[in-house]
């Protein structure tokens, strides 16, 4: 059966610097090309109880028009210029396996179930509408997801971020050693490796530009709302610094003798990621030797803080975030100057 995919429009989203495509396909295209994407990424909540969608399944067979599905793909090179309709059609068809379902997973699953139950006479050529978002970075795509879905109870912004980060940022490209969340029986623990949960917390800190991402004093639901609000107000859409750049520097720190244990520490990593939103490109220009000197000076200054007067973990996150965000200033300071400055920030 020939593939049906008609492109209606190709627009540019100026806020998240992405290409937005409006298209029309049919149920046959969805069954062949989109349903397989359901299990590819755990991008949304699990498929819900089929009984919730029995009415939709019957309506599909009877010829209803479903609300548009939304697909997404991250491709920094493709967003450099707006493609023609013919170009974007070829691109979508050639890269459909790299897309994921941003909105409509439950509907797709229901469509598949309705087809299996009613293959004879199923309306395969019935119109199906699609929105396809070709985004330059996962950071901006997550921003769009949060602005669209914040406040929805089935899946919080925090949950979306954690799932997307755990799927998209497998950290293989950056060659960062990561501990498996569950080790196999008999498998030895990797020494000198990051915990995946710590890296995901670092990503939350980067997106929200905040170290306050897991405060036990705040109930989880409200904490999720605060994180989403911080992300939406952190001006990430105008930032040229991406988490990919931050991962590059985390990898570099991990490979520097004397700094590796420092960056592996959860509170340091979270503070680093929060502060690096402002300064990651400046950090990349500082030599390894000077990085060692800055970290050693910082640690020497921090040990002079009276820990009985502070909440140590939170103070460390805050101090590291301030250090990293203002690295150009701190690289010129000695122990006393750094102690004086940091003590006023925590």
End-of-domain residue from the set 136, 159, 186: 136
| DSSP assigned state of 32 | I
Q: What is the pLDDT of residues 83-127, one digit of tens each?
A: 999 999 999 999 999 898 888 888 898 899 889 988 888 899 999
* 179 lies in the same domain as 312: yes
Distances (CA, A) of 327 to 127, 203, 291, 324: 55, 20, 10, 5
pLDDT of residue 151: 45
- Contact between residue 44 and residue 105 where contact means Cβ atoms under 8 Å apart: yes
For residues 215-231, average pLDDT: 79
* 242 lies in the same domain as 112: no
Rounded percentage of the chain residues whose pLDDT exceeds 70: 83
- Contact between residue 130 and residue 122 where contact means Cβ atoms under 8 Å apart: no
Q: Which two tokens stand for residue 15?
A: 């806020």
pLDDT of residue 84: 94
* 155 lies in the same domain as 242: yes
Q: Which of 197-201, 253-257, 262-266 is predicted least confidently? A: 197-201
Highest mean pLDDT among 97-101, 132-136, 156-160, 192-196: 132-136
pLDDT at 1 over 60: no
For residues 286-314, average pLDDT: 93
| DSSP assigned state of 46 | P
pLDDT of residue 187: 45
End-of-domain residue from the set 136, 170, 190: 136
pLDDT of residue 2: 62
- Contact between residue 332 and residue 299 where contact means Cβ atoms under 8 Å apart: no
Rg (CA), the chain: 24
Total domains present in the chain: 2
- Contact between residue 209 and residue 140 where contact means Cβ atoms under 8 Å apart: no
Is residue 199 assigned to a domain? yes
pLDDT of residue 267: 95
Domain range enclosing 164: 141-345
pLDDT of residue 164: 58
* 116 lies in the same domain as 213: no
For the chain, the average pLDDT equals 83
Q: Which of 44-53, 171-180, 326-335 is predicted least confidently? A: 44-53
pLDDT of residue 165: 60
What CA–CA distance (Å, rounded) separates 35 from 24?
16
Total residue count of the chain as it appears in this document = 346
pLDDT of residue 168: 53
What CA–CA distance (Å, rounded) separates 99 from 9?
19
* 208 lies in the same domain as 75: no
- Contact between residue 266 and residue 198 where contact means Cβ atoms under 8 Å apart: yes
Query: 3-state DSSP call for residue 184?
Result: coil
Is residue 123 assigned to a domain? yes
- Contact between residue 317 and residue 271 where contact means Cβ atoms under 8 Å apart: yes
- Contact between residue 71 and residue 100 where contact means Cβ atoms under 8 Å apart: yes
pLDDT at 142 over 60: yes
- CA atoms within 13 Å, Cβ hemisphere of 321: 23
The sign one gets for the Cα dihedral 263, 268, 274, 280 is negative
For residues 16-36, average pLDDT: 93
End-of-domain residue from the set 136, 161, 180: 136
For residues 314-319, average pLDDT: 94
* 118 lies in the same domain as 155: no
For residues 290-315, average pLDDT: 92
Query: 3-state DSSP call for residue 246?
Result: helix
Q: Is the pTM of this model over 0.85?
A: no
For residues 151-160, average pLDDT: 53
Give every CB contact of residue 93 below 8 A, 6+ residues apart in sequence.
3, 5
């Amino acid at each position: 059966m020939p593939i049906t995919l008609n492109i209606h429009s190709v627009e540019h989203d100026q806020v998240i610097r992405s290409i937005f495509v409006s298209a029309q396909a049919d149920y046959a295209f969805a069954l062949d090309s989109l349903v397989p994407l359901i299990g590819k990424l755990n991008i949304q909540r699990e498929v819900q109880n089929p009984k919730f969608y029995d009415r939709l399944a019957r309506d599909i067979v009877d010829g209803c028009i479903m609300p548009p599905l939304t697909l997404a793909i991250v491709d920094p090179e493709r967003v450099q210029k707006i493609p023609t309709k013919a170009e974007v059609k070829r691109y979508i068809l050639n890269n459909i396996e790299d897309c994921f379902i941003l909105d409509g997973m439950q509907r797709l699953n229901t469509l598949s179930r309705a087809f299996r139950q009613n293959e004879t006479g199923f309306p395969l050529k019935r119109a199906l509408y699609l929105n396809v978002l070709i985004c330059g970075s996962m950071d901006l795509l997550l921003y769009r997801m949060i602005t669209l879905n914040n406040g929805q109870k089935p899946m919080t912004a925090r949950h979306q971020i954690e799932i997307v980060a755990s799927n998209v940022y497998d950290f293989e490209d950056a060659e960062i050693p990561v501990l498996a969340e569950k080790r196999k029986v008999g498998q030895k623990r990797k020494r000198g490796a990051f915990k995946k949960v710590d890296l995901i917390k670092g990503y939350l800190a980067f997106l929200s530009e905040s170290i306050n991402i897991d405060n036990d004093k705040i109930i989880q639901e409200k904490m999720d709302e605060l994180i989403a609000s911080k992300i939406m107000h952190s001006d990430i859409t105008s930032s040229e610094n991406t988490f990919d750049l931050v991962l590059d520097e985390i990898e570099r720190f991990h490979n520097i003798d004397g700094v590796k244990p420092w960056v592996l520490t959860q509170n340091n990593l979270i503070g680093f990621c929060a502060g690096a939103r402002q300064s990651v490109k400046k950090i990349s220009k500082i030599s390894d030797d000077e990085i060692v000197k800055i970290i050693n000076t910082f640690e020497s200054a921090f040990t002079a803080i009276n820990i009985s007067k502070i909440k140590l973990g939170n103070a460390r996150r805050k101090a590291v975030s301030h250090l990293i965000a203002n690295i150009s200033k701190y690289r010129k300071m000695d122990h006393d100057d750094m102690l004086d400055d940091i003590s006023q920030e925590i």
